[in-house]
Amino acid sequence: MDKTLLGGLSPRTFLRDYWQKKPLLIRGAIPGFNGLLPREALLDLARDEDVESRFIAHDGRHWEMERGPLPASLVRRPRTKPWTVLVQGLNMLLPEADALMRRFSFVPYARLDDVMVSYATDGGGVGPHFDSYDVFLLQGTGRRRWQISEQTDFTLVEDAPLRILKNFVPEQEWVLEPGDMLYLPPKCAHNGIAEGECTTYSIGFRTPSMQELASGFLDHLREEIRVPGMYADPDLALQADPAQLPVAMVDKVTAVLEAIRWSRKEVESFLGGYLSEPKPHVFFDPPEEALSAKRFARQVATQGVRLDGRTLLLRSGRQFWINGEPVDVPPGAAELLRELASARRLARIPAHAGALDLLYEWYCDGFLHAGAGID
């Protein structure tokens, strides 16, 4: 990892002293960084129906927001008031953005979420707000003034299309130049204001609520658990009121449900599938002219493979999950898959590799690509 990314801190020190604890300003986190794509390319993405995007404008008191795909007329309008365009999931659209996100792999892939890019005109921003997740704010082109506060008043402006803090009181303030970066833990209130045109790249982290995890796990159990038998009551007793729920029935069903148990292994299996599941709007594109299995084997023997930017391959021990599904690991393939999961690319695949058929299947599904380089 680059020594500059965390301002000279080791990942271990950063995680111990700052992660989910306090903000950190890092000057020159990525020296020479000036963004990943020009303004016009960013606005083109915002007009794409397959891309998540938002347009936000304000006059200092009133806010407006429109979700993409954005019409060209919206971002070509006269600049009577500051506006911002946000594009989500840039890492799934641009290999360089995926490579940027992987610089933060000192945090497990199960927690990495996406890279969002924002373009703002002078004075543009999304207003004072807080996020429920950790975020690194990396300055691309131009300059942006960041105000932060560790306040506990999270009262929101009523009827605003965004979650704008009503009583934001800045405690610290910095202007970030290209390559500078600000880390913010969850619920650290912040407000970014563009000083001239600028772009900012936000590296965000996945933070599901415990309610989401509990609901997802119960859905998982519903698919996995089999409770045998049918309800029966041969000892049914006469009761005075037929509308009353029988006490014996409640007791019997309670006993059956209390007998349902799960192990740590079951939780692990759920998390592997749940955390590698693509977002609902994500789809994979099979190759237009797929290589035959033999040509694929010859090509990857020297050129290797790389995972698609939308693919998430997670593991626990010798168990693997790809894009929400458990992997049936072929004999002798675990070590190669472990390397692929960690590095997300392999320089070469030996012809005798036990995983070759599996990799070819993933290639045909669009989960990975032949060739280990960035296009």
Q: How many CA atoms lie within 13 A of 251 on its CB side?
A: 5
Looking at the structure, do residues 160 and 181 belong to the same domain, yes or no?
Answer: yes
Domain termination site, one of 182, 205, 228: 205
**Is residue 141 in a domain?**
yes
Q: Which residues, 6+ apart, have CB-to-CB distance to 247 below 8 Å?
A: none
**Is residue 100 in a domain?**
yes
pLDDT tens digits, 252-297? 999 999 999 999 999 999 999 999 999 888 999 999 999 999 999 9
Closest CA to 305 of 351, 352, 360: 360
**Is residue 266 in a domain?**
no
**Is residue 269 in a domain?**
no
**Is residue 73 in a domain?**
yes
Please, is 92 exposed, middle or buried when counting C-beta atoms within 10 Å of its C-beta (0-12, 13-18, 19+)? Answer: buried
Looking at the structure, do residues 240 and 333 belong to the same domain, yes or no?
Answer: no
Q: Which residues, 6+ apart, have CB-to-CB distance to 136 below 8 Å?
A: 104, 181, 182, 183, 202, 203
What type of residue sits at position 36?
L
pLDDT tens digits, 216-226? 999 999 988 88
Do 7 and 26 touch, CB atoms closer than 8 A?
A: yes
Q: Which residues, 6+ apart, have CB-to-CB distance to 372 below 8 Å?
A: 303, 304, 305, 306, 345, 346, 347, 348
Looking at the structure, do residues 17 and 107 belong to the same domain, yes or no?
Answer: yes
Number of structural domains (the chain) is 3
**Is residue 298 in a domain?**
yes
Q: What is the pLDDT of residue 182?
A: 98
Looking at the structure, do residues 16 and 65 belong to the same domain, yes or no?
Answer: yes
Looking at the structure, do residues 22 and 154 belong to the same domain, yes or no?
Answer: yes
Q: What are phi and psi of 295, to 5 degrees?
A: -65, -40
Looking at the structure, do residues 121 and 94 belong to the same domain, yes or no?
Answer: yes
Looking at the structure, do residues 297 and 252 belong to the same domain, yes or no?
Answer: no
Please, is 62 exposed, middle or buried when counting C-beta atoms within 10 Å of its C-beta (0-12, 13-18, 19+)? Answer: exposed
Give me the sign of the Cα torsion angle 56, 59, 63, 64: negative
CA distance 13 to 296: 43
CA distance 3 to 11: 10
**Is residue 62 in a domain?**
yes
Domain termination site, one of 184, 205, 226: 205
Mean pLDDT of the chain: 93
Looking at the structure, do residues 221 and 328 belong to the same domain, yes or no?
Answer: no
More reliable by pLDDT, 351 or 31: 31
Q: What is the pLDDT of residue 78?
A: 61
pLDDT tens digits, 317-358? 989 999 999 999 999 899 999 999 999 999 988 776 679 999
Looking at the structure, do residues 234 and 174 belong to the same domain, yes or no?
Answer: no
Do 167 and 153 touch, CB atoms closer than 8 A?
A: yes
Task: Give the CATH number of the domain where residue 113 resides.
Answer: 2.60.120.650
Q: What is the DSSP string of 263-287?
A: -HHHHHHHHHHHHHPPPTT------
State the average pLDDT over residues 103-125.
96
Looking at the structure, do residues 185 and 327 belong to the same domain, yes or no?
Answer: no
Take residue 287 and report the two structure tokens written for it.
């190759």
The kind and range of the H/E element at 223 are helix 210-224
Domain termination site, one of 183, 205, 227: 205
Looking at the structure, do residues 310 and 243 belong to the same domain, yes or no?
Answer: no
Looking at the structure, do residues 181 and 32 belong to the same domain, yes or no?
Answer: yes
**Domain range holding 362?**
293-370
pTM of the model: 0.90
**Is residue 1 in a domain?**
no
Closest CA to 46 of 77, 74, 81, 85: 85
Alpha-carbon torsion angle 92, 135, 178, 70, nearest 10 = 50
Task: Give the CATH number of the domain where residue 306 resides.
Answer: 3.40.366.30
Do 165 and 156 touch, CB atoms closer than 8 A?
A: yes
